[in-house]
Copies of this chain bind each other. A is one copy, B any other.
């Protein structure tokens, strides 16, 4: 499986790339600047200890070779990036949207969110992608700093999608990150709540100097297995 990380030079994108490269996935780091993408790919290769499965290129090129495209850009660049990569997207691909519409995108607080016309960043993404590309919302609550470090991450990933099969594939991808459990969060429309939880976690981080995440309790083990 080849995974393109659009905005892969940022802290969240490069953190996910590191974890998935460590798990043996083939990763293409995408960036607006191909040179920076290559540099990030090279840095991650050093950490992982092999350069066979990591490459870096411009965002649009990164998308054309991938089965799964993971979007990890700030919300301010969300629509613009989607328009830019759209010609490289094709039916059958999964676009994983990790974006949170923080008010910080427009100079506001990172503990507040913007109202997105479509309901959520992920639903905005769904409006941009070509027919046949499935949008899945996930990975909103994993602290970038923790992804960059070694060791398991004490956080669950809630995955929202209108396509059950695509959701399942992304949950399997989430479980490749040590410590992470993945849950079916239902339809893509639920991303409008799941995305916003990040703003609460950011507030807790500011108040308590932490790198907060969340665990869901009270569900049977099977909920974390399919």
Contact = CB atoms under 8 A, between A and B. Distances in A.
A9 interface: no
Interface string A205-223: 1011111111111111011
Given A185-B200, A210-B218, A217-B212, A190 B111 contact: yes
Given A190-B203, A207-B184, A216 B214 contact: yes
Nearest to A203: B186
A118 to B, nearest CB: 14
Given A190-B111, A193-B113, A208 B220 contact: yes
A63 interface: no
A25 interface: no
Contacts of A196: 193, 196
A186 B158 CA distance: 23
Contacts of A223: 204, 207-208, 210
B207 A186 contact: yes
Contacts of A211: 218
A194 interface: yes
